[in-house]
Amino acid sequence: MSHFSAFPPSSESFRRRPAKGGRGASVTHDSAEQHVTGAAQYVDDIPELARTLHAAIGKSPVAKGTLTQLDLSQVCTAAGVVDVVTIADMPAVTDIGPVYQGDPILAGPELQFHGQALFAVAAATFIEARKAVALAAIQVDEQIPTLTLEQALASGERVRPDHMMVKGDAKKALASAPNTLTNTLYNKGQEHFYLESQISYAVPTDDGGMTIYTSSQHPSEVQKLVAEVLGIAMHKVTVLVRRMGGGFGGKETQAAPWACLAAVLAVRNKRPVKLRLDRQDDMVLTGKRHDFFSRWTVGFDDAGQLIGADIHLAGLCGFSPDLSDAIVDRAMFHVDNAYNFPAMAVLGQRCKTNTVSNTAFRGFGGPQGMIVGEAMMDDIARATGLDPLDVRLKNLYQNGDKTHYGQPIEDFHIERLMTQLERECEYRQRRHDITEFNQQHPYLKRGLALTPVRFGISFTVQHLNQAGALINIYTDGSIQINHGGTEMGQGLFTKVAQVVANEFSVDLDYVQVTATATDKVPNTSPTAASSGSDLNGKAAQAACQTIKLRLVDLAVEHFGVAPDDVHFINNHVVVGVGESAQWFTFAEFVQLAYEQRVSLSATGYYRTPKIFYDRDTASGRPFYYYALGASCSEVEIDTLTGEYRILRTDILHDVGASLSPAIDIGQIEGGFVQGMGWLTTEELTWDTKGKLASASAATYKIPTSMDVPSILNVRLFDQPNAEETIYNSKAVGEPPLMHGISVWCALRDAAASVANYAINPPLDTPATPERVLAAVMACQAHNEGLVAEQIS
């Protein structure tokens, strides 16, 4: 057999040159060139097979009601239509709830939100399918829907039971506190607005199975649900995901329905079927970040020291459970953020409404909880007359403390991180300058806030904290890696490839990560909870180490050396020591291994240690470790209009020993802007009938380049993770989103300056100019009240 090496011949210069692109190197995203040139292939770019059909969805015209008639006769006879299905046509399972029941693949006879999927049409073209769904004659016995959190709280409607977390005696602590404050905050949800909408392409196989190409963060769940809906075994279904055009949690559970419907239509017609939601349908049919209504009473002393708190968190879940149990739990886990409450009671409520079922979104409830902790710190600062940063620093957790769910605080260097950022961004001087600016400008006011982030890393559902990987090494020395994580632009494939390159000490160019596929690595967890690199990096490392051990054993047997005398260095395998050492290029040694019948393929597996959570006692260690960070934002508002500018943001973020600094910094920048968008420009609105009014880019405003701070500085905090993660790195996906909270706090700070920081201005989110103006007017009303009191 001929042999061609991917590696150049060994030479003195080649031996001396370090391998390129291993851990800690700032490398280019593996698909960067394809992204910017348009060559990256997404599901809709896959060349369609002959006789491919295109599907579209017919939707419920009401938010709540009972279907009395569904006449699809005109739909069936419309131009190009080949098939139409309702829930009655499903071959087997019809409820595809990811954790709990409640998510029918198609609605009927009960309709539970405006726009709920009611039937599906397959036609020769996408346009013909879209036109056909509009021809349905639908009659409904319409009922009064529950559309708001206030209505759900009043009626007691829930998708899952309430849950409590308790630390100490909060009631007693509040009764003894010298000062107490009560406040509320409403956080609206957020649309994922990924660039690639939900899409699946189902191709029947000749053995009665199905191949699904999909844009999903959870291929194994798609595989399982497609099998269940079709009534076949999972091994008959193969799901492939090469890349997604964004996900942010919106494709963790809610990619599955469209794969299932495409598969059903494909089986019925024995033809490939593509189901792609257009932007408006995607926004109507899929869930968003949960709205949260938060209420709290916090107790503290005159020096701003926390004594206790009683907190109620209510999440707007929509019509079904989806992932709301875990999402509200994570909000409860993070309501303390970085602060030690000696006593605390936290109630989490999962409210049912006749709206689309809300789902995972970057941060997974953590942001909605964390902002409450930050609001309390600002409230206390204004009540005591202290600088908000001083109140924050005073109340930080210390190593040895315990959270309200019983997890010990360890390796907690947030104070050092915050004081470093305080110094580097010149917080104290800028605070002084802002005070002078506000005194000199009657209509423009500036605000400043420095806020921390402490975000728990792990799935809070224990069994999801596992991953597998498959490594194949070919005789030319090139390496192929497949793992259970999915690539949605976050650079996971690049990071895992860097791990593999580092383990074998070869150039990154010799490593290829292939599309996530359920027939290569089975039973995978979703790429979510910021755990992609932690889990899949460790699994890939385990597979590499298995093969390395085989290669070392070969060298020991073949060359008669000790195991410690075999080294992987600079694209070579070095056997022996000193002048007698033999240098083989990696490809040469792999060829030798093949000739000596050594397996060059291995699987790797990893499961996160230490973690557990007992929900009955609301205690445990749900997180392997905490990702930390801090951000400082400065804003300027126009008190006449409420319009504002974000002048500057400085971020110092802890990613441990970074696997890939350039990618990590990019994730931090993007996460911050997305969090800022959630809290400032992005507003979801429904009309009084429960119809989504903000269902397009024309009515839903994601942040643009013009909204990014004029000055944005991002730095990595140099501190290896104390836990044995992959090369002691830390997760980076979700935590940076919460740096956007510093912008909201700065806006509130600017508004408060109108009343000389004497009151806590009401500022629900998103903090649009209208809401900022209302906050300013509340402060002006306070001033007018003081004047009236003095006159009287």
**What pLDDT band is residue 5 in, cutting at 50, 70 and 90?**
confident
* DSSP one-letter string for 528-570: -TT-HHHHHHHHHHHHHHHHHHHHHHHHHHHH---GGGEEEET
Please compute the mean of the pLDDT values over residues 346-370 and round it to a whole number: 98
Alpha helix stretches (DSSP H) within 256-365:
256-269, 279-285, 324-333
**What pLDDT band is residue 1 in, cutting at 50, 70 and 90?**
very low
Q: How would you label 299-316 residue by residue, b for 16+ Cβ within 10 Å and e otherwise?
A: bbeeebbbbbbbbbbbbb
Specify the pLDDT at position 653.
98
The length of the chain, given as a count of residues: 792
Q: Are 572 and 586 in contact (CB under 8 A)?
A: yes
Q: What would the pLDDT profile of 272-311 be if each residue is shown by its tens digit?
A: 999 999 999 999 999 999 999 999 999 999 999 999 999 9
Return the SS3 of 46: coil
Contacts (Cβ under 8 Å, ≥6 apart) of 779: 751, 752, 754, 755, 759, 761
Please compute the mean of the pLDDT values over residues 685-693 and round it to a whole number: 97
**Looking at the DSSP assignment, which residues form a beta bridge with residue 621?**
612
pLDDT at 788 over 90: no
Alpha carbon 442 to chain centroid distance?
Answer: 41
Q: How far apart are CA 787 and CA 624, in angstroms?
A: 54
Q: What is the crossing angle of helices 492-504 and 532-559, to 10°?
A: 20
**What pLDDT band is residue 784 in, cutting at 50, 70 and 90?**
confident
- Reported as half-sphere exposure (CB side, CA atoms, 13 A), residue 473 has a value of 31
Please compute the mean of the pLDDT values over residues 392-404 and round it to a whole number: 98
State the maximum Cα–Cα separation within the chain, in Å, rounded to a whole number: 102
Specify the pLDDT at position 789.
72
Q: What would the pLDDT profile of 188-203 be if each residue is shown by its tens digit?
A: 999 999 999 999 999 9
Instruction: Look at residues 776, 746, 781, 780 and name the one whose alpha carbon lies nearest to residue 762.
Output: 776
**What pLDDT band is residue 760 in, cutting at 50, 70 and 90?**
very high
- What CA–CA distances, in Å, run from 150 to 22, 318, 351, 639? 53, 13, 9, 30
Q: How far apart are CA 171 and CA 169, in angstroms?
A: 6
**What pLDDT band is residue 2 in, cutting at 50, 70 and 90?**
low
Residue 266 Rama label (left phi>0; alpha psi -120 to 50; beta):
alpha
Q: Are 377 and 392 in contact (CB under 8 A)?
A: yes
Specify the pLDDT at position 657.
98
Name the average pLDDT for the chain: 97
**Looking at the DSSP assignment, which residues form a beta bridge with residue 40?**
none
Return the SS3 of 293: strand
Q: What would the pLDDT profile of 116-126 be if each residue is shown by its tens digit?
A: 999 999 999 99
- pTM for the model: 0.97
Q: How far apart are CA 289 and CA 280, in angstroms?
A: 17
Q: What would the pLDDT profile of 718-733 be if each residue is shown by its tens digit?
A: 899 999 999 999 999 9
Q: Catalytic: 410?
A: no
Report DSSP state, residue 765.
B
Q: What would the pLDDT profile of 306-316 be if each residue is shown by its tens digit?
A: 999 999 999 99
Residue 291 corresponds to which tokens in the numbers above? 């709205």
Specify the pLDDT at position 6.
77
Residue 240 corresponds to which tokens in the numbers above? 């492939």
Residue 770 corresponds to which tokens in the numbers above? 């209208």
Contacts (Cβ under 8 Å, ≥6 apart) of 670: 736
Instruction: Look at residues 146, 248, 256 and name the one whose alpha carbon lies nearest to residue 191.
Output: 248
Angle at 59 between CA 55 and CA 65, to 5 degrees: 150
Please compute the mean of the pLDDT values over residues 84-95 and round it to a whole number: 98
Return the SS3 of 644: strand
Alpha carbon 546 to chain centroid distance?
Answer: 32
Instruction: Look at residues 253, 240, 149 and name the one whose alpha carbon lies nearest to residue 192.
Output: 253
Q: How far apart are CA 702 and CA 668, in angstroms?
A: 17
Q: How far apart are CA 192 and CA 249, in angstroms?
A: 8
Residue 233 corresponds to which tokens in the numbers above? 């075994």
Specify the pLDDT at position 34.
95
Alpha helix stretches (DSSP H) within 38-107:
73-76
Q: How far apart are CA 747 and CA 483, in angstroms?
A: 43
- What CA–CA distances, in Å, run from 242 to 49, 239, 274, 489, 716? 18, 10, 17, 11, 30
Q: How would you label 678-703 residue by residue, b for 16+ Cβ within 10 Å and e otherwise?
A: bbbbbbbebeeebbbebbeeeebbbb
Q: How far apart are CA 792 and CA 780, in angstroms?
A: 18
Q: What are the φ/ψ torsions at residue 731 (nearest 5 degrees)?
A: -65, 150
Q: What is the identity of the amino acid at 91?
A: P
Specify the pLDDT at position 3.
58
Catalytic residue, from 734, 770, 784, 789: name it. Answer: 734
Q: What percent of the chain has pLDDT over 90?
A: 97
Q: What would the pLDDT profile of 172-228 be if each residue is shown by its tens digit?
A: 999 999 999 999 999 999 999 999 999 999 999 999 999 999 999 999 999 999 999
Instruction: Look at residues 306, 288, 286, 289 and name the one whose alpha carbon lies nearest to residue 297.
Output: 306
